[in-house]
């Protein structure tokens, strides 16, 4: 390629990397590095890290995963980093208190599903999938001291969440300072040219640039993307119960999308469409002109998301079930009877039963939903969370979409 052709191709690729981003730090440095890499026919190394703090990825994670896929399609090497070591520390980003550390067994269980889930979006066969325990566990005490010497407490306290907690006399554990340092060292270990992340990770990602310089490497470019919020307007998180998991049952995913506000559905489309969903794009344009209503658009968005993660047939069935169960208020046709044993005395508490049938995530959630009059037994609203059921057949309904037909024996 001529120098002019190389410059044009570099500009085109930078446009792809910049699309949808909030900030692009080190872009001009990367432009020069990219031209050299193109000339040498050498791919750049693009890093995206996620901690397995829960077993499921949610659709908010796909915002940066989509960008990693786009850059992979340009011919560069995507590195999906599973932070199995950093998950044991707990990322303090955006937190107003110390995050509980996870034990090794929990982290390992959560991490097992990550590659399969990421594979629904990224071509993992042609990517590097790494675990940061590979190099962090090999660091000696002297190595850790050296790493910590590259940053000061004053610089750490420039980070908003640390500064706010310090000003409010909220405790900050020393181990929390290790998290951004280790995340930065990951970039050193991987020789990253670019790191992707959400805007909540800006401090950590920029620290990576400084630590790479200190270790004699050229600093990575940093591309940050907006955060997808959950149904309650806060950052989407499975632990907060406001997330839509990419492994959710199709009918559950469909229903969760249908429950978001009309304003939020447009934000979901903007952040998740990734240049796809042409039919939905036309629907949005029609919505803007007042030629269609928000319900039609939201139904299209729910179907598009389910189809993306579970396939066209699952999306069709989820849409049909939503129409039957939620819109027409019918009981699902294919509801199978589940047999369940009662406890001593031939009875079982409703709260325990709901948890056992996985209609709720926990007994506390079951009690909360009963208090909100969102639980029905044989069509009757339950107001007493201490209700006990004896042997027999019951139809249980939780919220608008969760059903179970159970025979207690």
Residues 71 and 49 grouped into a single domain:
yes
Q: Which domain holds residue 292?
A: 248-327
Which residue from 310, 226, 232 is spatially nearest to 272, judged by alpha carbons?
226
Q: Are residues 178 and 285 in the same domain?
A: no
Q: Summarize pLDDT for 137-192 with one digit per residue, the tens.
A: 999 999 989 998 988 888 888 888 888 888 888 888 888 888 899 999 999 999 99
**Cα(121)–Cα(50) distance, rounded to whole angstroms?**
15
Report the length, in residues, of the chain: 409
Q: What is the mean pLDDT of residues 49-70?
A: 91
Residue ending a domain, choose from 276, 292, 327: 327
Domain-terminating residue out of 309, 327, 345? 327
Q: Is the pLDDT of residue 97 over 60?
A: no
Quick one: 167 and 305 in the same domain?
no
Q: Taking the C-alpha atoms of 385, 388, 391 and 394 in order, what is their torsion angle to the nearest 10 degrees?
A: -20
**Same structural domain for residues 62 and 113?**
yes
Provide the CATH number for the domain around residue 397: 3.10.290.10
Average pLDDT score, the chain: 88
Angle between helix 278-288 and 294-310 (nearest 10):
160
Asked if 188 and 44 sit in the same domain, the reply is yes
Claim to verify: residue 163 and residue 132 sit in the same structural domain = yes
Residue 157 lies in a domain: yes
Instruction: Indicate whether 196 and 313 sit together in one domain.
Output: no
Q: Are residues 18 and 108 in the same domain?
A: yes
What is the count of structural domains for the chain? 3
| DSSP-based three-state secondary structure for 235 | strand
Do residues 293 and 348 share a domain? no
pLDDT band of 275, cuts 50, 70, 90: confident
The span from the CA of 243 to the CA of 239, in Å, is: 8
Q: Cβ of 269: how many Cβ atoms within 10 Å?
A: 20
> Encoding tokens for residue 172?
């900050």
Determine what percent of the chain is predicted with pLDDT higher than 90: 45
Q: Which of 266, 300, 327 marks a domain boundary?
A: 327
Q: Are 162 and 92 in contact (CB under 8 A)?
A: yes
- DSSP-derived letter for residue 400 is T
pLDDT at 89: 82
* Helix pair angle (294-310, 312-322), 10° resolution: 140
pLDDT tier for residue 28 given thresholds of 50, 70 and 90: very high
pLDDT digits (tens, 9 = 90+) for 387-406: 999 888 888 988 877 888 88
- For the chain, percent of residues with pLDDT exceeding 70: 95
| DSSP three-state, residue 265 | helix
> Residue 100's Cα: distance from chain center in Å?
19
Q: What is the pLDDT of residue 184?
A: 95
Question: Which pair of structure tokens corresponds to residue 279?
Answer: 């039919």
> Binning pLDDT at 50, 70 and 90, where does residue 98 land?
low
The domain that holds 41 is classified in CATH as 3.40.50.620
Same domain, 45 and 155: yes
pLDDT of residue 240: 65
Tens of pLDDT along 361-390? 788 888 989 988 889 888 889 989 899 998
pLDDT digits (tens, 9 = 90+) for 303-354: 999 999 999 999 999 998 888 877 767 777 667 788 888 877 888 999 999 9
Give the span between the Cα atoms of 132 and 188, in whole angstroms: 11
pLDDT, tens digit, for every residue of 191-226? Answer: 999 999 999 999 999 999 999 999 999 999 999 999
Q: Say if residue 164 is in the same domain as residue 302.
A: no
DSSP 219: P
Is residue 278 in some structural domain?
A: yes
User: How far apart are alpha carbons 142 and 149 in whole angstroms?
Assistant: 11
pLDDT at 38: 95
Q: How confident is residue 96, by pLDDT bands cut at 50, 70 and 90?
A: very low
The CB-side HSE value for 364 (13 A sphere, CA atoms) comes to 1
Q: What's the rounded mean pLDDT across residues 274-279?
A: 82
Q: Is the pLDDT of residue 94 over 60?
A: no
Listed ranges 30-44, 154-168, 235-249, 393-407; the one with the highest mean pLDDT = 30-44
C-beta separation of 254 from 303 below 8 A = yes
Residue 259 sits in the same domain as residue 184: no
Q: Does residue 243 belong to any structural domain of this protein?
A: no
Domain annotation covers residue 234: no
């Amino acid at each position: 390629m001529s120098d002019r052709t190389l410059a044009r191709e570099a500009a085109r690729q930078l446009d792809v990397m910049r699309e949808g981003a909030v900030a692009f730090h080190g872009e001009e440095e990367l432009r020069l590095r990219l031209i050299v890499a193109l000339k040498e026919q050498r791919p750049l190394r693009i890093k995206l890290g996620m901690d397995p703090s829960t077993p499921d990825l949610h659709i908010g994670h796909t915002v940066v995963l989509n960008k990693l896929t786009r850059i992979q399609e340009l011919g560069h090497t995507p590195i999906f980093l599973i932070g199995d070591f950093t998950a044991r520390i707990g990322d303090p980003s955006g937190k107003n208190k110390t995050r509980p550390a996870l034990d090794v067994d929990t982290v390992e269980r959560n991490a097992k599903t990550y590659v399969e889930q990421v594979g629904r979006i990224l071509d993992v066969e042609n990517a590097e999938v790494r675990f940061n325990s590979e190099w962090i566990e090999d660091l000696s005490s002297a190595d850790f001291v050296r790493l910590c010497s590259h940053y000061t407490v004053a610089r750490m306290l420039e980070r908003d969440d640390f500064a706010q907690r310090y000003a409010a006399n909220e405790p900050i554990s020393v181990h929390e300072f290790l998290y951004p340092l280790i995340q930065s060292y990951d970039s050193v270990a991987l020789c990253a040219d670019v790191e992707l992340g959400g805007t909540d990770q800006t401090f950590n990602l920029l620290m990576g640039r400084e630590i790479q310089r200190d270790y004699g490497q050229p600093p990575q470019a940093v591309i940050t993307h907006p955060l997808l919020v959950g149904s309650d307007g806060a950052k989407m998180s499975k632990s907060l119960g406001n997330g839509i998991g990419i492994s959710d049952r199709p009918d559950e995913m469909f229903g969760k999308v249908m429950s978001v506000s009309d304003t939020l559905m447009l934000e979901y489309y903007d952040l998740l469409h990734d240049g796809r969903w042409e039919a939905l794009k036309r629907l949005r344009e029609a919505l803007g002109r007042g030629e269609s209503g928000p319900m039609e658009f939201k139904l299209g968005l729910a179907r598009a998301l389910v189809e993306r993660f579970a396939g066209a047939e699952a999306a069709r069935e989820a849409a049909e079930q939503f129409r039957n169960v939620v819109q027409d208020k019918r009981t699902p046709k294919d509801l199978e009877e589940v047999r369940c044993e009662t406890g001593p005395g031939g009875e079982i508490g409703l709260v325990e039963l709901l948890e056992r049938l996985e209609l709720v995530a926990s007994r506390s959630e079951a009690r909360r939903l009963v208090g909100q009059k969102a639980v029905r037994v044989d069509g009757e609203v339950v107001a007493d969370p201490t209700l006990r059921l004896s042997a027999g057949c019951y139809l249980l309904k939780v919220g608008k979409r969760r059903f179970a037909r159970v025979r207690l024996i």
